[in-house]
Amino acid sequence: MEANPQSVQQSLLLVCNRPVPGSNAATISDHLDAFRLTGFRIFELPMVGRIPRTLSLARFDIVVVHYTLQLGEETGHFLDDASLDRIAVSPGLKVIFIQDEYRNVNLAWERLRRGRFDLLFSIAPSGEIEKLYPSAKLPGLKVESSLAGYVPDYLLRRKVMPIAARPITVGYRARRMQFWLGALAQEKVFIAEEFCRRVAGTTLVHDVSPDEADRLYGPQWIEHLAACKATLGVESGASVVDFDGSLRRQVDRYVEDNPEAGFSDVRARFFPDSDGKILINPISPRLFEAVALRTALVLFEGSYSGVLQPGRHYIVLKKDFSNFEQVLTQLRDEVALQELADRAYREIACNPKYSYQAFADQFAASCLARMRGLPPRRTTPLKFWQFYLMRLLDPGYALQRALANTLQRFLLTSRMRGTLFRHWEALPLAYKLRIRPILKLIGR
């Protein structure tokens, strides 16, 4: 019989690195908020580094480590070994979400074993799961596929302008991805740069940028999308997986010594045969946001997790731009563009299958099913005031959270962000390696 998550009363500790509003992609907060739809009693622990020593994990039926605390970091500055050891001996169900699954995979295996996790939610396609998480390496761990994000319900209630009234024809934001992530990751910047090159000198109104300093978050990103008739897009993820961390180190050193090196050169030198062997290519949550805002999609060819159909839900742009003139013609037909956006809104955004409630139901049912395989246990119910008191009684935890929130507001939610990232990109690699662990105490 299928579990009804609304009838359960289990307590769930959500260990995460929640960003300050406006400092990172809204999909992170949306994903965290969705756990409150599960029917479990949610106790959220925002943190970086270590779980407060004063907090007893034995008081929770389920402990969830969110993807905002990355396991593949060599210095453990997102989640330290002492915290993993405490999770390992906690008697409840141990669940983890991982998204940056291409990074230092062997270390992630080691830390999954150390934490004795029971259930993992991955955004990799089901056909790639065994390659990333081989059962022989991780006995007892159940792995399920999940999307990276879903349709935010609040966007469905938002009133938007018709496409004909929107001032921007095409908008897009992306960030430059490291070469060692493979060809798929480079498409985010390539689509932006090639599009801008081809529309230069035309009257087409666009707001497209691949630069980190121009990234938009929170309400700014939503306002931008809602002002665009269409947005560009590619599949998210990576087509190269770095199992032991050596590929990233080698490529970083080479690019540092050879700043003029291009992606083709790097691929030929370091991973000529492995690009595409494992493909982590989920649909981006930003495409769900665009569909919910009735912004038309212009996308490179791809599978998009089986959600979007070419021609029906988006305009197909060939990766070699061979059909670019046809795409421009379609962008100028505002009636057809509106029909395309409305169809995607009805069939995708309004489909309960892609809602955060569907995610919450899947998560709750999976947890309850996995708990049936564990020894029965009874926890002493924890009151919320007791939970907050346990957090406050660890002064190191309270100080770290106050510092992280203050710096996020100062550095990442203002014009300082662009300046910060421009200076960061100019730093030599040796300095970045020294500074990065300190910066990650601020946030993800």
Tell me: pLDDT of 77 over 80: no
Average pLDDT over residues 324-341: 97
Burial 140-168, CB ≥16 within 10 A → b, else e: ebbbebbbbbbbbbebeeeebeebeebeb
Tell me: pLDDT of 410 over 80: no
How confident is the model at residue 1, as a pLDDT?
A: 32
Rg, Å, the chain Cα set = 22
Identify the DSSP state of 232. Answer: E
- 152 falls in which pLDDT band (50, 70, 90)? very high
- 183 falls in which pLDDT band (50, 70, 90)? very high
- Tell me the CB-side half-sphere exposure of residue 273, using CA atoms within 13 A: 0
- Tell me the CB-side half-sphere exposure of residue 299, using CA atoms within 13 A: 25
DSSP-H helix ranges across 293-355: 324-332, 334-344
Residue type, 328: L
Q: Is 312 helix (H, G, I), strand (E, B) or coil?
A: coil
How confident is the model at residue 339, as a pLDDT?
A: 98
Q: Match 């934001």 to its residue by tokens.
A: 173
Average pLDDT over residues 309-334: 97
Any residues with CB less than 8 A from the CB of 439 and at least 6 apart, and which? Answer: none
- Work out whether the CA dihedral 145, 147, 148, 154 comes out positive or negative: negative
Q: Is 206 helix (H, G, I), strand (E, B) or coil?
A: strand
- Of 131-145, 207-221, 284-298, give the lowest mean pLDDT range: 207-221
How confident is the model at residue 3, as a pLDDT?
A: 41
Q: Is 21 helix (H, G, I), strand (E, B) or coil?
A: coil
- Element spanning 300, H or E: strand 296-300
- Rounded Cα–Cα distance for residues 9 and 2 (Å): 16
pLDDT tens sequence across 225-270: 999 999 999 999 999 999 999 999 999 999 989 989 999 999 999 9
How confident is the model at residue 8, as a pLDDT?
A: 45
- Element spanning 192, H or E: helix 183-199
- List the one residue out of 329, 244, 342 whose CA is nearest residue 296: 342
Main-chain phi, psi angles of 43, to 5 degrees:
-115, 105
Q: Match 């070419």 to its residue by tokens.
A: 310
Q: C-alpha 400: how far from its chain's center?
A: 24
How confident is the model at residue 444, as a pLDDT?
A: 58
pLDDT tens sequence across 273-302: 999 999 999 999 999 999 999 999 999 999
- Of 169-173, 273-277, 311-315, 399-403, give the lowest mean pLDDT range: 399-403
- 404 falls in which pLDDT band (50, 70, 90)? confident
How confident is the model at residue 218, as a pLDDT?
A: 83
How confident is the model at residue 279, as a pLDDT?
A: 95
- 441 falls in which pLDDT band (50, 70, 90)? low
- Rounded Cα–Cα distance for residues 417 and 38 (Å): 35
How confident is the model at residue 418, as a pLDDT?
A: 67
Residue type, 246: S
How confident is the model at residue 4, as a pLDDT?
A: 42
Q: What is the dihedral of CA 417, 422, 425, 430, to 10 degrees?
A: -80
- Of 21-35, 125-139, 341-355, give the lowest mean pLDDT range: 21-35
Whole-number mean pLDDT of the chain? Answer: 90
- Rounded Cα–Cα distance for residues 435 and 444 (Å): 14
The answer to whether the beta carbons of residues 235 and 184 sit under 8 Å apart is: yes
How confident is the model at residue 2, as a pLDDT?
A: 40
